[in-house]
Amino acid sequence: MVAVTNAMLPLLRRSAAARIVNLTRDLGSLTLASADENFPQLLAYNSSKTALNAVTVAYANELRSEGILVNAVSPGSVATDQNGHAGLLTTEQGARLPIRMATLASGGPTGIAVTADEDLDHHLLAW
């Protein structure tokens, strides 16, 4: 993710509306993990998403002055091969929030994480 982002930065810097949207999960939230003793302990997966969240914040801080918005999105429980298609959302529904964040207006939020539920509405995801 870092290698790809760094490779794309020269192109993003030439764009009038550059956006970076990283896909995360609530499983990467340290806030949620520390508040719930029954939080799923998928060590490698959770740790990788927590690291992705930290890198998202680092890029947001680094690129803020250039107007490049960097955010993380948890699209919700999407039916995919990874979960045996047991998710609540279709892939089309799951794509809505990442697309919304990729097309934010200039001056939109940066350095945040958002998530969606079955209602397809979004709300902040605690880091």
Q: Is residue 89 part of a domain?
A: yes
77 vs 17: which has the higher pLDDT: 17
At residue 123, the 3 state secondary structure works out as strand
Confidence of residue 118 (pLDDT cuts 50, 70, 90): low
Domains in the chain: how many in total? Answer: 1
> How far is Cα 107 from Cα 79, in angstroms, rounded to an integer?
33
At residue 26, the 3 state secondary structure works out as helix
- What residues form DSSP beta bridges with 53? none
Selection from 27-31, 43-47, 111-115, 121-125 with the highest mean pLDDT: 111-115
User: Long-range CB contacts (< 8 A, 24+ apart) of 4-7?
Assistant: 5/59
Q: Is residue 62 part of a domain?
A: yes
Q: Is residue 7 part of a domain?
A: no
Domain limits for position 73: 18-124
pTM flag (> 0.85):
yes
Q: What is the CATH number of the domain that holds 65?
A: 3.40.50.720
Which H/E stretch holds residue 93? helix 91-102
Q: Is residue 103 part of a domain?
A: yes
Confidence of residue 100 (pLDDT cuts 50, 70, 90): very high
Q: Is residue 13 part of a domain?
A: no
pLDDT at residue 16 in the model = 94
Mean pLDDT of all residues belonging to the chain? 91
Q: Is residue 100 part of a domain?
A: yes
> Quick check: 31 pLDDT over 70?
yes
Q: Is residue 35 part of a domain?
A: yes
Selection from 42-56, 70-84, 85-99 with the highest mean pLDDT: 42-56
| Structural contact between residues 45 and 32, judged by C-beta atoms closer than 8 angstroms | no
Q: Is residue 4 part of a domain?
A: no
> How far is Cα 97 from Cα 22, in angstroms, rounded to an integer?
11
Instruction: Name the burial class of residue 63, with classes exposed (0-12), middle (13-18) and buried (19+) by CB atoms within 10 angstroms of its CB.
Output: buried
pLDDT at residue 76 in the model = 79
